Structure formats: structure tokens, C-alpha cells
């Protein structure tokens, strides 16, 4: 479990929220945190290049990168999606996608949150 998820869970448990609710609220907060990073123009800024058709709050006319849809089918191994965000030049040296992890644009935890968010679409 990454640090962000652990903090959310610890806070919810300390506040007396039941264990089944903890998981549901934690997943929701994790997705919301990933969405915020992905849509933040100073962080992930995914919408500058991609559309996310499954998320009504992700408004973009961008077409530089492929639409971020069917992510579980396109990346059955979550680690491959994470590696793509970490340093996309490993799979495609000519890509225009920034290496978010390698260049420290996003932290390890932020990349995990973005993967959690994207993996639902």
C-alpha cells in the first residue's frame, strides 16, 4: 500500500468509520486524488494531450496522445501503465510524452494515484 492510501486509511479508521466503508471511501478518495493530479496543469496535465472519454469532468479537445480509455484492456499489467507514465521513452524513444517520474514531475505516490484513476477507464 502506498503512503497516500495508508494515510487515508489511518485517518478513516481513527475517525471510527467501519472497515467496509473505509475501503469504499479510500478508493473514492484515491480516485479523486488521481483525477486531481491528472487534470492539474502544474502536475500531470494529462488533458493537454489526451482525452479521457469515461470521465465527464475531463474536458479536452486534445489529440496529441491516444484517448485514455479501456486502460485495463490496453494495459492488463498495471506495472506497464505505471512504467509508461514513469518514462514513456523506454517504449518509444520518439515520444513527446514527458517522463513524469524520471524527471521528477510527479512523485512515486502521485504516479500511483494517477494509475489508480486511469485504470478505471
**Is the pLDDT at 112 greater than 90, yes or no?**
yes
Tell me the pLDDT band of 21, cut-offs 50, 70 and 90.
Answer: very low
Q: What span, in angstroms and rounded, lies between the C-alpha atoms of 107 and 38?
A: 13
How long, in residues, is the chain? 121
Q: What span, in angstroms and rounded, lies between the C-alpha atoms of 103 and 87?
A: 8
Domain 3-118 falls in which CATH fold? Cytochrome Bc1 Complex; Chain D, domain 2 (1.10.760)
Q: What is the model's pTM?
A: 0.77
**Is the pLDDT at 4 greater than 90, yes or no?**
no
Residue of 21 and 101 predicted with greater confidence: 101
| Domain ranges, ordered by start, for the chain | 3-118
Average of per-residue pLDDT across 85-109:
97
Enter the C-alpha cell of residue 9. 486509511
What would the DSSP string read from start to end of 43-108? TT-GGGT---TT-TT------SS----SHHHH-SSHHHHHHHHH-GGGT-TT--S--TTTTTSS-H
Average of per-residue pLDDT across 27-45:
94
Q: What is the pLDDT of residues 48-86, one digit of tens each?
A: 999 999 999 999 999 999 999 999 999 999 999 999 999
Percent of the chain whose predicted confidence (pLDDT) is above 90: 76
Amino acid at each position: 500500500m502506498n503512503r497516500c492510501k495508508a494515510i487515508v486509511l489511518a485517518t478513516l479508521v481513527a475517525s471510527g468509520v467501519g472497515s467496509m466503508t473505509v475501503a469504499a471511501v479510500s478508493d473514492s478518495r484515491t480516485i479523486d486524488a488521481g483525477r486531481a493530479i491528472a487534470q492539474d496543469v502544474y502536475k500531470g496535465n494529462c488533458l493537454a494531450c489526451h482525452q479521457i472519454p469515461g470521465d465527464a469532468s475531463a474536458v479536452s479537445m486534445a489529440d496529441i496522445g491516444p484517448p485514455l480509455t479501456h486502460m485495463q484492456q490496453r494495459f492488463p499489467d498495471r506495472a506497464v501503465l505505471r512504467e509508461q507514465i514513469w518514462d514513456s521513452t523506454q517504449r518509444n524513444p520518439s515520444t513527446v510524452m514527458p517522463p513524469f517520474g524520471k524527471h521528477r514531475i510527479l512523485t512515486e505516490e502521485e504516479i500511483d494515484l494517477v494509475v489508480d484513476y486511469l485504470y478505471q477507464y
